Structure 1
Amino acid sequence: MDDEGNSTPRPSKSKVILPNLGHELPNPLRFDSYAQPGPSNLSSRVPSTASSVAGSVVNHPARKPLTRRQQLLQRARAHENAGSPLSGIGSEALQSQNPQIKEDILRLIEQYLGEEGYLATKLVLHDEANLKAKERGDRQVQGKNLKRAIMEGDWAEVDLIVSKGPLVRTQNALLYSLYKQQFLEHIEYRELQKAFTLLNKRLKPLEHFQPTPNEFKDLCYLLSAKSVHDAPSFKNWEGVTAARERLVEAFGKMVEGEREEREENVFVPPNRLVTMLEQAVSYQIELSRYRPKDVPVIHSLLQDYTPFVVPNSIANVLEGHTANIKAVRFMGAEGKQLVSGSSDNTVRIWDTSTSNCTTIMRGHRSRIWDVDATTNGDRIASASGDRTVKVWNWQAEEELQRCATTLEGNLGDVYAARWHPMGNHIATGGYDKIVRLFDVESGTILKTFTGHSLSISSVMFNPLGNLIVSGSKDSNVRFWDSVSGLCIRTLNAQLGEVTSVDMSDSYLLTNSRDNSVRLWDVRMLRPLRRFKAHSNTSQNFIRASFAHSSLLVSGSEDGVLYMWDRESSEVLQTLEGHDGIVYGAVWNDKQSLLASYGSDAKIRTWEFDERKDFEFED
């Protein structure tokens, strides 16, 4: 296969701006116009799971009209830094603070608990939710007291009642009506100073809750009028007692309307919560940059679905080394630089965006077998055939100041070196069959781990840093307690010399000289799958690694880069471009970028090019 082979696209980190799905909200100025908006028909807008994963990536739109999917993706990439694809519609269509929506969520949870058999928990939730009923009962008593105070004209009592908390959702509209009634009574009784104060302090801030455009203007006019009826908005005013009765009646209708909305006898369709989650996942799959042929299995709802990326095209070629390149690592999570070590005895820093070599570090007297960078990328470690590991402060301006420490004590070539996650220790392994743990600051050996019978090809720390994993030519993989120095586990079912080890979550990946890569369950210490196709039999350190948890990548002696799907064991992609042996490749998730290296003294970076279709190989 040439370097224009097929692949999957890069994971989407974009946001899609969808059409406005907002409702026509009720008029907040009138009690009798308030109504809860009906639910949006989201199911008609969200594709089913089956339909959302059908089809494959279309061709590049350069010569063909854009399809609907390409248009969606184009809009998504235009908002690359705007957030998740779901955030736009969520804030517009779903008003999560709406009391009705909150009650609906409780109903969905209560139904799900019942369907799954959590009956006791369902009852607890139901009882706790019914505490709201007591609050509603308290509001009913306050409502009765408010009606009485209005009819008696006890406005001090009215102010006291409404100050205790909202009695209705449109509390401000209620306050406007109460203050308006007081104002009109002051005008009727010619208490103009009180009316003026009430207008400025109470009614003016609530002016936008007036039911008609000119009502507040007419209230202002009444301060200089002879009668309430002189203002057009109040020419039909029936007097103090009748106005109070109408106000009490309007308040009663509003409370009754809200009580009907809260009725608990609401039909919830079966499996409604699961159905909505399926719709959400289908929506995420529909808008992802790559949809596989088979429906993907979603193992977690704690984060949005993102497909894995299978690079299919050369992004850049990094040239500068004069001999084969034994190791490459991205520096830091962003992956803006990468470090390489070569048989030309140099360590080089590369800018991944420009492909330029920005720094050359010299000092080793023999070939460099391995390189590694700290988590934040500020320091480099290089393992060499000169029996040393050098620690580099690569950002130092003076070349002589870049080598911060030289770690000595190995009795032969150092084939592997890895930083501890905390950046204070380095584990090494090599020809002398011993794993050593160095303190970087003092340059001393803290512990030695003995047990391998042949040279060690690869070492690494687990994510917590409490274990060191080593692979050896003796066909064994050993797990060492970094504190006690004891070997606590051994995998000895290998059929060939181990050339690399790598770990992701609870999975261990090993490459060995029997032309196979193996995946292991670390917790159970049992083999899960075997991946074949590449070539690894000669005296080379061919390394395999996780591009991410679902994608495995390995170099090969036939000059091809191989990538497998972790679940199916199928070869998803083969990449050709190197002239000679490919020793391995490393992945940067932030850029969805793969960097491979080999005997041709070149580094190649690979990316997904959507102009090329992707199909699973038969």
Structure 2
Amino acid sequence: MICGLSGAVCQEPVVNIKTGHVYEKRLIEEHIKTHGNVCPLSETPLTLEDLLPLKLSTLATDMAPPSKATSSIPSLLSALQTEYDAHALEMFQVKKHLQQTRQELSHALYQYDAACRVIARLNREIEQLKERNQTPQVADAVQDPWDAVSAHVAARAKELAHYRKKERRVEEITKNVAAMNSTATHTLHQSDKPGVLALDIKEHRIITGGNDKDAKIFNTQSGQIEATLSGHSKKVTDVLFHPNADVAFTASADKTVKLWSAGSSERNYTLGHTFSGHEGSITSMSLHPTGSYLGTSSEDGAWGFFDLGTATLLKKVAAKASEMLALQFHPDGAIFATAQSDSTIRVWDVASANEVAKFEGHTKAVTALSFSENGYHLASGSADGLVKFWDLRKLKSVIDLQQDAPVHAVNFEFNGSYLGVASNKAVTIYKESGKKNWDIVKTFADHQGNVTDVKLARGLEFIASTSLDRSLKIYA
């Protein structure tokens, strides 16, 4: 009998009762002692109890094994084959052990690297704590100013939300919009660069901005220009009145916003601050309900948040998608919306400065935005000729108003029951007739050029629109 380990004739043969392999007793016992209870050939569990001794005849046990020198060629080949198999088995075991060692080494190196990173982080934190303990005043001085803004905005948003839900009273509109007509046309801006691009209303005064780089403040009662605001190097793209102070804002393609103060005389506006920080033309601006901050949108794809008192750019965030064509604060001031050239509308949280929602539904650039005063809906106008109403509670579009041409401006009346839309050369006034119904009550087609902006005075005392035909028209 030939040993499965040595390939030689067994002197004390034993057989594995599970697999039938035959081994030299001393070799298999040494293998089990060295490598554990595993069969060397089948790699199945093997113990000494599984080995059964074999008895040979006296002739077989007394006979010495034949020497290799006297063996036949077939016997020699068989012995060589057995020895080769033993070496192959040993090589397999060595490779298996090498692979296991490599895995253990790789795991150990990973743990070492992780431990080094943790130690480095802890060392940095320890150094930072030491610095804070040594210079507490410096740490307080470099506190992020946005934290104070967030607290101010959150407090004001809570007050306004309570007012809207508990104390707000809807003012009844007594004006007959269908009977309104164009009552006055004023050409306020220079003729060498025609076009009035934006307007805003405050009581009986209107501010307009034009391609001629100037802004004009017009008194509808006297029919006279009260002030001309000159200072921009490029066209004025948006204008705005402060509701509680005699202050006006002008935004321009020269990448700046200017704050103008009337001082002691409404006709003597002087430049107070210039807000800068954008890398592209300012497309729109909106005053935060606190009255202390100004939001801006720009063709550089970012929105800016400015402190009016210091003219400081407190925050600037890019949408990383497209140009921003409009920006509007929610009546509570906790969120705001931006209109994008990639046909989307993005809603942002003021406190975190993060995007919290994205409205998709337009097929072309979104050009205009307006929140309803109750804070439940957002109206958007687009170059695709659609005005869409978005429900901010359900985060989806609920109404579509089809126009015949790209929409340039949308504006809710203060009470939220009327909406003005500027498209092509016309101004269309819609009235809410149901939860999901808005009907056309009047269309003004008096302009000779594309209408650029429309605003509805509070209580619909009058409606004003501007156009590329250089005119400001008033409807009453």
- Aligned to 1:350, which of 210, 218, 233? 218
TM-fit CA distance, 1:454: 1.3
Structure-2 change in CA distance of 1:508 and 1:304 (3 Å): closer
Structure-2 change in CA distance of 1:592 and 1:401 (3 Å): closer
Aligned to 1:507: 377
The answer to whether structure 1 residue 375 and structure 2 residue 243 are counterparts is yes
Aligned to 2:271: 403
Q: Which has the larger radius of gyration?
A: 2
- Aligned to 1:328, which of 199, 219, 237? 199
SS of equivalent to 1:542: strand
In structure 2, C-alpha distance between the alignment counterparts of 1:580 and 1:427, rounded to whole Å: 30
TM-fit CA distance, 1:582: 0.8
In structure 2, C-alpha distance between the alignment counterparts of 1:354 and 1:304, rounded to whole Å: 27
TM-fit CA distance, 1:401: 6.4
The answer to whether structure 1 residue 605 and structure 2 residue 474 are counterparts is yes
Structure-2 change in CA distance of 1:423 and 1:471 (3 Å): same
In structure 2, C-alpha distance between the alignment counterparts of 1:365 and 1:459, rounded to whole Å: 23
Aligned to 1:551: 418
In structure 2, C-alpha distance between the alignment counterparts of 1:348 and 1:304, rounded to whole Å: 30
Aligned to 2:431: 565
- Aligned to 1:388, which of 256, 280, 285? 256
Task: Note if contact 2:217-2:228 (Cα within 8 Å) is conserved in structure 1.
Answer: yes
Structure 2: tracts of 5 or more residues without a match:
1-166
The answer to whether structure 1 residue 412 and structure 2 residue 283 are counterparts is no
TM-fit CA distance, 1:450: 2.1
Task: Note if contact 2:234-2:254 (Cα within 8 Å) is conserved in structure 1.
Answer: yes
- Deviation sequence 1:90-113 (CA, Å, 0-9, x none): xxxxxxxxxxxxxxxxxxxxxxxx
The answer to whether structure 1 residue 587 and structure 2 residue 453 are counterparts is no
- Deviation sequence 1:429-488 (CA, Å, 0-9, x none): 111000010112222111122225111111111112121211111111111111211111
Aligned to 2:289: 421
In structure 2, C-alpha distance between the alignment counterparts of 1:375 and 1:355, rounded to whole Å: 21
- Aligned to 2:301, which of 433, 448, 463? 433
Q: Which amino acid aligns with 2:198?
A: A
In structure 1, C-alpha distance between the alignment counterparts of 2:402 and 2:222, rounded to whole Å: 35
Task: Note if contact 2:171-2:459 (Cα within 8 Å) is conserved in structure 1.
Answer: no
In structure 1, C-alpha distance between the alignment counterparts of 2:419 and 2:171, rounded to whole Å: 22
In structure 2, C-alpha distance between the alignment counterparts of 1:328 and 1:436, rounded to whole Å: 21
Structure with the larger strand share: 2
TM-fit CA distance, 1:305: 5.5
Aligned to 1:443: 311
Structure-2 change in CA distance of 1:508 and 1:401 (3 Å): closer
- Aligned to 2:331, which of 463, 468, 474? 463
Structure-2 change in CA distance of 1:598 and 1:304 (3 Å): closer
In structure 2, C-alpha distance between the alignment counterparts of 1:388 and 1:575, rounded to whole Å: 33
TM-fit CA distance, 1:585: 0.8
Aligned to 2:405: 535
Structure with the larger helix share: 1
Looking at both structures, which has the greater relative contact order when contacts are Cα pairs under 8 Å and sequence separation is at least 6? 1
In structure 2, C-alpha distance between the alignment counterparts of 1:599 and 1:395, rounded to whole Å: 32
SS of equivalent to 2:331: coil
- Deviation sequence 1:220-279 (CA, Å, 0-9, x none): xxxxxxxxxxxxxxxxxxxxxxxxxxxxxxxxxxxxxxxxxxxxxxxxxxxxxxxxxxxx
Aligned to 2:443: 574
TM-fit CA distance, 1:412: 1.0
Q: How does 1:80-159 map to 2 (within 5 A)?
A: none
Task: Note if contact 2:227-2:269 (Cα within 8 Å) is conserved in structure 1.
Answer: no
In structure 1, C-alpha distance between the alignment counterparts of 2:168 and 2:206, rounded to whole Å: 34
Structure 1: tracts of 5 or more residues without a match:
1-299, 608-618
Q: Which amino acid aligns with 2:395?
A: L
Structure-2 change in CA distance of 1:470 and 1:452 (3 Å): farther
Structure-2 change in CA distance of 1:463 and 1:309 (3 Å): farther
Aligned to 1:519: 389
Task: Note if contact 2:303-2:318 (Cα within 8 Å) is conserved in structure 1.
Answer: yes
Task: Note if contact 2:188-2:472 (Cα within 8 Å) is conserved in structure 1.
Answer: no
Task: Note if contact 1:414-1:428 (Cα within 8 Å) is conserved in structure 2.
Answer: yes
- Deviation sequence 1:503-534 (CA, Å, 0-9, x none): 01211100011111111111111111111234
Task: Note if contact 2:208-2:215 (Cα within 8 Å) is conserved in structure 1.
Answer: yes
TM-fit CA distance, 1:591: 5.5
TM-score w.r.t. the length of structure 2 is 0.60
Aligned to 2:7: none
TM-fit CA distance, 1:425: 0.9
- Aligned to 2:343, which of 471, 475, 492? 475
SS of equivalent to 2:212: coil
SS of equivalent to 1:543: strand
What value does the CA root-mean-square deviation take over the aligned residues? 2.3
Task: Note if contact 1:449-1:480 (Cα within 8 Å) is conserved in structure 2.
Answer: no
Q: Which amino acid aligns with 1:556?
A: S
Task: Note if contact 1:554-1:562 (Cα within 8 Å) is conserved in structure 2.
Answer: yes
In structure 2, C-alpha distance between the alignment counterparts of 1:401 and 1:570, rounded to whole Å: 41
The answer to whether structure 1 residue 497 and structure 2 residue 365 are counterparts is yes
In structure 2, C-alpha distance between the alignment counterparts of 1:569 and 1:414, rounded to whole Å: 32
In structure 2, C-alpha distance between the alignment counterparts of 1:444 and 1:302, rounded to whole Å: 36
Q: Which amino acid aligns with 1:471?
A: A
In structure 2, C-alpha distance between the alignment counterparts of 1:302 and 1:327, rounded to whole Å: 30
Instruction: Report how many aligned residue pairs link the two structures.
Output: 300
In structure 1, C-alpha distance between the alignment counterparts of 2:221 and 2:269, rounded to whole Å: 26
- Deviation sequence 1:167-197 (CA, Å, 0-9, x none): xxxxxxxxxxxxxxxxxxxxxxxxxxxxxxx
TM-score w.r.t. the length of structure 1 is 0.46
In structure 1, C-alpha distance between the alignment counterparts of 2:221 and 2:266, rounded to whole Å: 24
- Aligned to 1:317, which of 178, 185, 189? 185
TM-fit CA distance, 1:400: 8.7
Structure-2 change in CA distance of 1:370 and 1:452 (3 Å): farther
SS of equivalent to 1:555: strand
In structure 1, C-alpha distance between the alignment counterparts of 2:399 and 2:217, rounded to whole Å: 36
Following TM superposition, the consecutive aligned residue runs of length 4 or more in structure 1 with deviations greater than 6 angstroms are: 300-304, 398-401
Q: Percent identity?
A: 22
Structure-2 change in CA distance of 1:398 and 1:573 (3 Å): closer
